[in-house]
Chain A
């Protein structure tokens, strides 16, 4: 158990819908990262937050957005969902944004 929690564990929804994934970092960690992992691709970095501010952006679609709240938990919002958005979404956290990242158990999103 890494200490990073993610909810929900599984999510099944339809195309065109919007969902919110939630992540709580390890106690003491200031930085949160979001990744997408689909079957045909490796782990793709989406976005990083550090102490409430966006720090780095990867291959995140405009339909996706994220934020980190004052209590340091983070949410990833996915809208206008498409079949291709079906994937495992991982959250990771680290102490200062430049050290080892510890991954949560992931949210498996299925878009039907």
Chain B
């Protein structure tokens, strides 16, 4: 089965850093995706981690620890447009992508 947990909401100030944690219990785990979703819109791909460690992509970084079943998404230099829901998703070897409920990030001026 799949169990993915992430906080429901986070609030941060423009220019700050926010870290969104995700823990997963996924049988046949292959890798961990992060998607961004603005309300009423399609999820857009942010990152995919297969190996342990940190991957940096501009203002966004993602970390994975397979042994701990843990990942985080780090958003730096927050901008108002970063206010959105961030979805953690575990990919398993039965070709299924299981999503967490999402973390709503609100960026305040």
Contact = CB atoms under 8 A, between A and B. Distances in A.
Contacts, number: 50
Interface in A55-112: 55-56, 58, 88, 90, 97-106, 108
B72 interface: no
A33 B35 CA distance: 16
A103 B97 contact: no
Interface stretch (B13-21, B43-51, B55-63, B76-84): B43-51
Contact of A102 (B30, B45, B89): B45
B96 interface: yes
A48 B33 contact: no
Interface residues of B, number: 21
Contacts of B94: 56
A90 B40 CA distance: 11
Nearest to B91: A98
By CB atoms of chain A within 10 A, which of B43, B44, B89 has the most? B43
Interface of B: 30, 33, 35, 40-45, 48, 87, 89, 94-102
11 contacts: A33-B97, A42-B102, A48-B95, A50-B95, A56-B96, A98-B30, A100-B33, A101-B97, A103-B42, A103-B44, A106-B41
